[in-house]
C-alpha cells in the first residue's frame, strides 16, 4: 500500500477504527470485530446523549423525568399506570421511580390516585400539563435526533435500523435463555 493510499484510508477512519488499528498492532491475534459494532453503538450513545439531555433540560426535565411522563403519554388515554407497570416499562428501581414521581408531582405533571378497582393500590396519572409537556419535549427531541441521521439516506437508515433490531433481538433471546438456565452452545 502506498503512503498516499494509506493516508487516504486513515482520513476515512473514525475513532473506533483508530482504536482497532492500535489494538491490532499490540494484540494481532485478538479479533476486535465487536468494537466495530458494539464500540460504535456505545460511542454513538455517548455522542448524542448531551444533545438529548439539553433538549429535555429546555423543558425543565431530566432524562429520567422525561422517561416517566413519556411512558404515561405513549400508553394512551387515560394516561395511567400502576407503579409496578411503570417499573417494568422503565426498568428502574422502585426507589428511583418514587424519587422521580415525587419531583413530577410537585411540578404538577403527574398525580397519584387511588385505584378505582382496589383502594389499596395507587395509579400514576399524567396531568394535562404533563401530557402537553411530554408531547412537546418528544417532538423537539425527535426533530433534534433526526438531524443526526442526515449522513444516511432513507435506505441506509432502514437497513441500519433493521440490522440493529436483529442484533438486539438476538441478544435479548440469548439473555432470556441464560435467565431460564439454558447454557449457550
Nearest partner of 105 among 124, 121, 118, judged by Cα:
124
Interval 97-124 mean pLDDT: 89
Interval 62-74 mean pLDDT: 95
Whether residue 172 is predicted with pLDDT greater than 80 in this model: the reply is yes
Q: What is the per-residue DSSP string for 28-64? A: TTS--HHIIIIIHHHHHHHHHHHHHHHHHHTTT--HH
Reported as type and span, the H/E element at residue 111 is strand 110-114
Calculate the average pLDDT of the chain. 91
Backbone φ and ψ of 152, nearest 5°: -110, 140
The count of residues in the chain is 185
Is 0.85 surpassed by the pTM of this model? no
Mode of pairing for the β-strands spanning 110-114 and 80-81: unpaired
Indicate the class that CATH gives domain 63-138. Answer: mainly alpha
Q: What is the per-residue DSSP string for 137-177? A: HHHHHHHHHHHHTTTS-HHHHHHHHHHHHHHHHHHHHHHHH
Residue 92, pLDDT score: 72
Q: Which three cell numbers stand for residue 105?
A: 408531582
Residue 117, pLDDT score: 75
Residue 32 CA to residue 39 CA, distance in Å, equals 10
Q: Binning pLDDT at 50, 70 and 90, where does residue 167 land?
A: very high
Reported as type and span, the H/E element at residue 15 is helix 15-26
Residue 79 CA to residue 74 CA, distance in Å, equals 8
What is the domain partition of the chain in residue ranges?
Answer: 63-138, 152-185
Amino acid at each position: 500500500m502506498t503512503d498516499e493510499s494509506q493516508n487516504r484510508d486513515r482520513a476515512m477512519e473514525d475513532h473506533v477504527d483508530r482504536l482497532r488499528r492500535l489494538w491490532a498492532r499490540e494484540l494481532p491475534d485478538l479479533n476486535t470485530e465487536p468494537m466495530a459494532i458494539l464500540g460504535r453503538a456505545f460511542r454513538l450513545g455517548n455522542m448524542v446523549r448531551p444533545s438529548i439531555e439539553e433538549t429535555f433540560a429546555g423543558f425543565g426535565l431530566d432524562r429520567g423525568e422525561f422517561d416517566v411522563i413519556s411512558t404515561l403519554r405513549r400508553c394512551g388515554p387515560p394516561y395511567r399506570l400502576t407503579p409496578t407497570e411503570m417499573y417494568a416499562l422503565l426498568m428502574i428501581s422502585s426507589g428511583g421511580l418514587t424519587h422521580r414521581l415525587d419531583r413530577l408531582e410537585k411540578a404538577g405533571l403527574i398525580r397519584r390516585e387511588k385505584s378505582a378497582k382496589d383502594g389499596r393500590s395507587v395509579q400514576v396519572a399524567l396531568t394535562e400539563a404533563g401530557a402537553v409537556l411530554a408531547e412537546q419535549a418528544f417532538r423537539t427531541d425527535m426533530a433534534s435526533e433526526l438531524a443526526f441521521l442526515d449522513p444516511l439516506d432513507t435506505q441506509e437508515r432502514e437497513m441500519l435500523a433493521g440490522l440493529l433490531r436483529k442484533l438486539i433481538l438476538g441478544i435479548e433471546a440469548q439473555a432470556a435463555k441464560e435467565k431460564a438456565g439454558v447454557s449457550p452452545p
